[in-house]
Amino acid sequence: MSASFQAPKGVPEYLPPQSGEFLAVQVALSRPAELAGYGYIELPVFEDTSLFARGVGESTDVVSKEMYTFEDRGGRSLSLRPEGTAGVMRSVIEHNLHRGQLPLKLRYAGPFFRAERPQKGRYRQLQQVGAEAIGSDDPRLDAEVVALADAGFRGCGLTQFTLLLTSLGCAACRPAYRALLTAFLVDLDLDEATRERARLNPLRVLDDKRSSVQAQLGDAPLMADHLCQECRQHYDEVRHYLTVMGVAWTEQPRLVRGLDYYTRTTFEFSHPLLGAQSAIGGGGRYDGLMAALGGPEVSGIGFGLGVDRTLLAREEEGLPALAPPLVTAFVVPLGPAADDPCVRLVDRLRAAGIATTSTFGGRGLKGSMKAADRSGARWAVIVGEDEVAHATAQVKDLTTGEQHTVPVDEIVEVIHPGAIDREGGH
């Protein structure tokens, strides 16, 4: 007999009732962007490999070590998307969305893929919510994007996270800083792989998590100390508007993030209760990315928020469930005479927007009530022969134990006051 199949290693599955919490977190993270006019975009989960090599950066671990890359039947090299921004930029360029009203505001949600060593909070299939604002370098737009991410986490109930903020400069001031950092790194005791990473992008070394590397970086020059006047003014205004919006942050001049395209405003949300995988989301400005992908010189800023890690952070903070129970009402038919009336009643409750299920298999009252309790429903609606004869039902509040005889025509109003059914009646 063959062995049973299992999910791929490092791919989390969300099953009821936790899947309801997953969906609720995804919605809560997306909601602030939705309220700010960010339109939804659905993207392919795989793209041309060169899109990510050029857009994300060949020196990044994401591209050099973590992408799932394969050759299709036509001999084309494709990769499962490791992040969202490059795909959004490709779509914007391909469909000329940048020629419409700017800034162009887009949001998305779904799975992303990285061939990492699986551990708690670090998965090979990770779920994210993202947003991109394209076509303006106004500091107010930067502040809006950061504030929307902050509001998303707060909408999930999180309170113990920290917003880390810095500026990574621009094409005018970054080269001089890069030369300073490169000269500093030359004298450090680094292995060959790290030296090669420093050659491609010296800022990547600042993001190295190994203590042996970090111990040597104490005197490394910081981009924040070498910003040009325009970048300094831009960053000052971003922080001003964040203050106006009531968003608190912590300066983190060593913040690099794992992608090469960031310029100017760069940010990360960190949750201390998650240990090594403390980053729950982040993003930044990526002026120059669209041009690098073959489009015009159009600026942009965006974020990616981790749904998986937000769930873990909520668990660590001991927060109550965001998702409602799967069902509100549980209908119990007792005897064959109650079957048809209960089928109609279930349909009516659902039409009124009340999540409803019923017992199956001819269970008796005791077994049906146990099933009602396990379902998480608040209300049990019990219909027997006597209730059928009088067009009533026994409606029991499963949280208090109170039970009343209610006319069938009034059940919707009792369970959900103000609900309107398909026919427009109460």
Based on the domain organization, do 149 and 273 belong to the same domain? yes
Inside any domain, residue 116: yes
pLDDT category of residue 426 using cuts at 50, 70 and 90: very low
8 Å CB contact between 268 and 252: yes
**Residue 420 pLDDT:** 47
Inside any domain, residue 301: yes
Instruction: Give the mean pLDDT of 93-121.
Output: 93
Domain boundary among 316, 343, 360: 316
Q: Provide the CATH number for the domain around residue 392.
A: 3.40.50.800
Quick: pLDDT tens for 350-395. Answer: 999 999 999 987 788 899 999 999 999 999 999 999 999 999 999 9
Strand partners, 305: 129, 281
- Print burial letters for 234-250: b (CB count within 10 Å at least 16), e (below 16): bbeebbebbeeeebebe
* Side chain identity, residue 366: K
Based on the domain organization, do 142 and 22 belong to the same domain? yes
The DSSP line for 21-79 is HHHHHHHHHHHHHHHTTPEE----SEEEHHHHHHHT-TTSHHHHTS--EEE-TTS-EEE
259, pLDDT greater than 70: no
8 Å CB contact between 277 and 120: yes
Look at the block and give the residue holding tokens 């040597």: 216
Tokens (6 digits) for 356: 């409803």
Domain boundary among 259, 282, 316: 316
Quick: pLDDT tens for 191-201. Answer: 888 888 788 77
Inside any domain, residue 180: no
Based on the domain organization, do 91 and 154 belong to the same domain? yes
**Residue 232 pLDDT:** 96
Domain boundary among 316, 348, 364: 316
Inside any domain, residue 189: no
Strand partners, 263: 285
Q: What percent of the chain has pLDDT over 70?
A: 96
Distance (Å, rounded) from C-alpha 321 to C-alpha 19?
A: 11
Based on the domain organization, do 381 and 255 belong to the same domain? no
Query: Which whole-number Å values give the CA distances from 77 to 46, 50, 53, 54, 69, in the listed order?
Result: 10, 8, 12, 14, 7
Based on the domain organization, do 71 and 119 belong to the same domain? yes
Based on the domain organization, do 144 and 52 belong to the same domain? yes
Q: What torsion, rounded to 10 degrees, do the Cα atoms 384, 388, 389, 392 define?
A: 100
Based on the domain organization, do 333 and 367 belong to the same domain? yes
Instruction: Give the mean pLDDT of 40-64.
Output: 87
Based on the domain organization, do 70 and 104 belong to the same domain? yes
* Side chain identity, residue 85: T
224, pLDDT greater than 70: yes
Inside any domain, residue 207: no
Inside any domain, residue 184: no
pLDDT category of residue 422 using cuts at 50, 70 and 90: very low
Inside any domain, residue 236: yes
Reported as type and span, the H/E element at residue 164 is: strand 162-167
In Å, the largest CA–CA distance within the chain is 91
Based on the domain organization, do 304 and 348 belong to the same domain? no
Tokens (6 digits) for 392: 């009533």
Instruction: Give the mean pLDDT of 93-99.
Output: 95
CB under 8 Å to 102, separation ≥6 — which residues?
Answer: 134, 135, 136, 298
**Residue 418 pLDDT:** 55
Quick: pLDDT tens for 147-162. Answer: 999 999 999 999 999 9
Kindly tell me the sign of the dihedral angle through the C-alpha atoms of 203, 209, 210, 216. positive
Based on the domain organization, do 251 and 383 belong to the same domain? no
Ordered alpha helix ranges (H), 137-228? 139-155, 174-186, 192-200, 203-206, 211-214
Instruction: Give the mean pLDDT of 233-262.
Output: 90
Residue 378: domain span: 329-415
Inside any domain, residue 352: yes
Based on the domain organization, do 391 and 252 belong to the same domain? no
Instruction: Give the mean pLDDT of 283-309.
Output: 94
Q: Provide the CATH number for the domain around residue 306.
A: 3.30.930.10
Count of structural domains within the chain: 2
Based on the domain organization, do 296 and 337 belong to the same domain? no
Half-sphere exposure of 331 (CA within 13 A, CB side): 28
